[in-house]
Amino acid sequence: MRLKYTKNFHKSYSKRIGRNKNLDKRFYERLQLFIQNPQNLILKDHKLTGARKQFRAFSVTGDIRVIYYIEKETIYLIDIGSHNQVY
């Protein structure tokens, strides 16, 4: 599978995560787990509901989430941030 970052993801990442080296490191660790096995229980992957029902999310930490969707053989990362920021 290929991985693509949306413009919105880049913006959210640099604003919310990139400044914090611990979160930056944790994100890349979880992203590797996700690429290897999206169903890994550590990720707490789940389908979203409501206005974002076409997307899924996985956890980076207890509060930090990554919003994404899969189309054909490509994973599109849409947003990243705290629970309140992305939902």
pLDDT tens string for the chain (87 positions)? 899 999 999 999 999 998 899 999 999 999 999 999 989 999 999 999 999 999 999 999 999 999 999 999 999 999 999 999 998
List the structure tokens of 80: 């990243």
C-alpha separations of 54 from 4, 32, 51, 62, 70 in Å? 17, 23, 8, 23, 10
What was the pLDDT predicted at 1?
Answer: 81
86, part of any domain: no
Residue 64's CATH number: 3.30.2310.20
**Domain limits for position 56:** 2-81
How many structural domains does the chain have?
1
List the structure tokens of 47: 């389908």
How crowded is residue 59: how many other Cβ atoms within 10 Å of its Cβ? 16
Q: What is the pTM of this model?
A: 0.92
87, part of any domain: no
SS3 content of the chain, % helix, strand, coil (to 5): 40, 30, 30
